[in-house]
């Protein structure tokens, strides 16, 4: 009987060891942590400025929302994130609010959108007034500061963003 229990114990231990060795720990990326997430998106290597902007923007993912904020650790709103990302990645100082950022940018058609271009929305009471901004990662994904979720990546093709979309814009080189 003892020999049978010992064999059962060894078999069980072996199975548990195999199971545990096949598991892996995934690292959660939060505010202030970097990870090469750009490989998950269609980012052209030719667009070096856009790639640099997105690499910086992805560091903000998980940052909490804070009205009038622009800090990766304490919180940000949409235009504060865009302003800080562009300043850190390119040295270009954008205006502080989304409507002024739209005025600053060159308006572009959807067929010309590249990584790092901005997308503007009217999410407030006035359906024609720009009140939200994000940065295009690729042709369908953008990163932005959501009032309810903080800095997240969303698809521009979702019904909400399709309905509230106003325009795309390209930040001019200085």
Model confidence pLDDT, tens digit, residues 81-125: 999 999 999 999 999 999 999 999 999 999 999 999 999 999 999
Task: Tell me what percent of the residues of the chain surpass a pLDDT of 90.
Answer: 72
CA dist 171 → 31, 47, 78, 120 (Å): 25, 13, 16, 13
DSSP run (H or E) holding 8: helix 2-22
Task: Give the β-pairing of 70-71 and 132-136.
Answer: unpaired
Residue 34 confidence class, pLDDT cut points 50, 70, 90 = very low
Q: What whole-number distance in Å separates Cα of residue 141 and Cα of residue 58?
A: 12
Other C-beta atoms lying within 10 Å of the C-beta of residue 113: 20
Q: What whole-number distance in Å separates Cα of residue 84 and Cα of residue 90?
A: 10
What pLDDT does 45 receive?
73
Give the HSE-up count for residue 79: Cα atoms under 13 Å, Cβ half-sphere: 18
Active-site residues: which are they? 78, 132, 144
The model's pTM: 0.78
pLDDT digits (tens, 9 = 90+) for 39-56: 677 777 778 999 999 999
What pLDDT does 122 receive?
98
The domains of the chain, with CATH numbers, are 44-170 (3.90.1720.10)
What pLDDT does 39 receive?
64
Q: What whole-number distance in Å separates Cα of residue 27 and Cα of residue 59?
A: 14
- Radius of gyration over every alpha carbon of the chain, rounded to an integer in angstroms: 22
Q: What whole-number distance in Å separates Cα of residue 17 and Cα of residue 28?
A: 25
């Amino acid at each position: 009987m003892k020999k049978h229990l010992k064999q059962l114990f060894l078999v069980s231990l072996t199975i548990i060891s195999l199971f545990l060795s096949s598991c892996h720990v995934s690292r959660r990326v939060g505010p202030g942590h970097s990870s090469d997430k750009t490989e998950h998106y269609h980012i052209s290597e030719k667009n070096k400025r856009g790639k640099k902007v997105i690499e910086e923007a992805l560091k903000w993912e998980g940052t909490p929302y804070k009205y009038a904020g622009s800090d990766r650790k304490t919180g940000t709103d949409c235009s504060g994130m865009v302003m800080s990302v562009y300043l850190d990645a390119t040295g270009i100082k954008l205006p502080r609010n989304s409507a002024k950022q739209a005025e600053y940018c060159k308006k572009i058609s959807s067929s010309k959108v590249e990584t790092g271009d901005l997308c503007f929305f009217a999410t407030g009471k006035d359906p024609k007034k720009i009140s939200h901004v994000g940065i295009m990662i690729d042709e369908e994904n953008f990163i932005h500061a959501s009032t309810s979720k903080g800095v997240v990546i969303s698809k521009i093709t979702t019904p909400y963003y399709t309905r509230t979309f106003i325009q795309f814009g390209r930040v001019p080189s200085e």
